[in-house]
Amino acid sequence: MATERLYQQDVYLREADLTVCELREYKGKMQVACGSTIFFPEGGGQLCDLGTLGGVPVTDVKEDKETGTVWHTVEDASGFAPGKTVRAVLDWQRRFDHMQMHCGEHVLSGRFFELFGVENHGFHMGEDYMTIDMAARDGSPVTDEMIAAAERAANEVIWQNVPVTTTWFDTAEEAKSMPVRKEIKFGEDISVVTVGSADAPYDCCACCGTHPSTTGQIGLVSVLKAENYKGMTRITIKAGRPALEESILRSKIASQLAQKHSCEVSTLLEREAANDAKNDLVRRELSELKSALAKAEEEKLKEALPAFEGSLAIFRYPLMSADDLQSMARKAEEIFTKPAALYSEKDKTVVLATPGTPAAGQLVKEYANMYGGKGGGSKTLARAIFTKKADAELFMDLLEKHLR
């Protein structure tokens, strides 16, 4: 039995008494069907409404396309029975967010189509954002300039606060009288949403979703980003309350960054570009200095290692990282005719280099975990990583005694 959709008569209806018709268990969850409903089921790219039914949370709402029955998934169906009257209460904030967002998508899509012949080929609504897959009829790219122009034009329609109306048709033939921007591909029970007047609409499109009665209630449409997607341009947008909250967040971030860089928000990108150029120069200079330091330490190591008479040559480096030491050891691999421990004090890591016998990786595997260390490596080069300097020192002391 098809469920009567009360939201089609009054999209602002927040509560209603409904009569339970049927209960069922579906995929391990209990579902309730009523003779009518104020809950919009998932469909047309729009998420479903949520709320309570008989005081019980509604966690999902879906339509059986074959029968037209709307099923409400509930957390607990023990209090429901056929013929019982239950109070339905919408999560109104969620519903109104969806109304703002879906209508915002209509207005923006309509402006893209009118201004540039760019068509909407796919729409998805998330919890607080939407994506639209756009492509021009002639295959030309959707440029940043086009996106900015359509965004401005969409908000101008919102400011005009024009009416948003839904017209119902039994057949596609009847709906042909409407100036839709997109061909209607289904044959019956058609709803057409018109933004503005039917003679010269800002948008006109078949849609089963929920929308406010005027564009002013959308509040704001904001394009967040655009990216290539399967030969189209996928545009991520927000509208209504989510768009406002996004705008507040971005404004706060921009203001804090401008304050940090002692500039106006309008010149923030220029300041960032200048800082990036300075940072690039500093990074190049740092890289050159590190290379010079590594070369100098490598030469010192080549001189000191042959003269070392103990079983394990230990060299401590307060400033060089473990990666730097491992790179240095690789470059000077031929000098390690005896085991050597290159200790990065800043990383609390021992880089162990040997001629292959004993195997460096095996030594780390056998002894590092005794002091809470971890690591590994090859026969000639390995590293042991510790959380405490004292443990690294104990590990090296143990190795020195073992190798005597």
In the listed set 67, 90, 113, which residue is the last one of a domain according to the structure? 90
Angle 278-280-284 (CA atoms, 0-180°, nearest 5)?
120
Phi/psi region, residue 262 (left: phi>0; alpha: psi -120 to 50; beta: rest), is left
Could you report the per-residue pLDDT of 12-64, keeping only the tens digit for each? 999 999 999 999 999 999 999 999 999 999 988 899 999 999 999 999 999 99
The verdict on 379 and 314 lying in the same domain is yes
The verdict on 13 and 156 lying in the same domain is no
pLDDT for res 166? 92
Q: What are phi and psi of 326, to 5 degrees?
A: -65, -40
User: Range of 20's domain?
Assistant: 4-90
Report the alpha-carbon distance of residue 312 to residue 339 in Å, rounded.
5
Could you report the per-residue pLDDT of 340-387, keeping only the tens digit for each? 999 999 999 999 999 999 999 999 999 999 999 999 999 999 999 999
Asked if the model's pLDDT at residue 307 lies above 90, the reply is: no
The verdict on 211 and 189 lying in the same domain is yes
The verdict on 398 and 291 lying in the same domain is yes
Residue 275 lies in a domain: no
Q: What is the pTM of this model?
A: 0.74
Query: Helix crossing, 144-160 with 92-116: angle to 10°?
Result: 120
The verdict on 363 and 382 lying in the same domain is yes
The verdict on 218 and 346 lying in the same domain is no
Average pLDDT over residues 75-102: 96
Residue 273 lies in a domain: no
CATH number of the domain that 148 lies in?
3.30.980.10
Asked if the model's pLDDT at residue 189 lies above 80, the reply is: no
Residue 266 lies in a domain: no
The residue type of 301 is: L
* 8 Å CB contact between 58 and 50: yes
Residue 397 lies in a domain: yes
CATH number of the domain that 78 lies in?
2.40.30.130
Instruction: Please report the DSSP string for 127-193 in residue order.
Output: SS-EEEEEEETT-----HHHHHHHHHHHHHHHHHT-BEEEEEEEEHHHHTTS--SS-----EEEEEE
- List all residues 6 or more positions away from 303 whose beta carbon is below 8 Å from its beta carbon: none
Residue 102 lies in a domain: yes
* 8 Å CB contact between 70 and 62: yes
Structure token digits, residue 69: 């029955």
Residue 269 lies in a domain: no
- Going by pLDDT thresholds of 50, 70 and 90, the confidence category of residue 174 is confident
The residue type of 122 is: G
CA distances (Å), 357 to each of 161, 340, 366, 381, 403, in order?
A: 82, 12, 15, 11, 11
Asked if the model's pLDDT at residue 188 lies above 80, the reply is: no
Asked if the model's pLDDT at residue 186 lies above 80, the reply is: no
Phi/psi region, residue 197 (left: phi>0; alpha: psi -120 to 50; beta: rest), is beta
Bridging pattern class, strands 130-136 and 164-171: unpaired
In the listed set 28, 62, 90, which residue is the last one of a domain according to the structure? 90
- List all residues 6 or more positions away from 89 whose beta carbon is below 8 Å from its beta carbon: 14, 15, 51, 52, 53
The verdict on 107 and 218 lying in the same domain is yes
pLDDT for res 87? 98
Could you report the per-residue pLDDT of 123-157, keeping only the tens digit for each? 899 989 999 999 998 888 999 999 999 999 999 99
Residue 248 lies in a domain: yes
- Going by pLDDT thresholds of 50, 70 and 90, the confidence category of residue 294 is confident
The verdict on 76 and 100 lying in the same domain is no
Could you report the per-residue pLDDT of 323-337, keeping only the tens digit for each? 999 998 988 888 888
The verdict on 176 and 209 lying in the same domain is yes
Residue 276 lies in a domain: no
| 343: helix, strand or coil | strand
The number of beta carbons lying within 10 Å of the beta carbon of residue 214 is 16
| 70: helix, strand or coil | strand
| 289: helix, strand or coil | helix
The verdict on 85 and 102 lying in the same domain is no
* 8 Å CB contact between 40 and 96: no
Asked if the model's pLDDT at residue 103 lies above 70, the reply is: yes
The verdict on 369 and 222 lying in the same domain is no
* 8 Å CB contact between 72 and 34: yes
Q: How many domains does the chain have?
A: 3
The verdict on 332 and 238 lying in the same domain is no
pLDDT for res 187? 67
Report the alpha-carbon distance of residue 363 to residue 352 in Å, rounded.
9
In the listed set 58, 90, 122, which residue is the last one of a domain according to the structure? 90
DSSP conformational letter for 65:
T
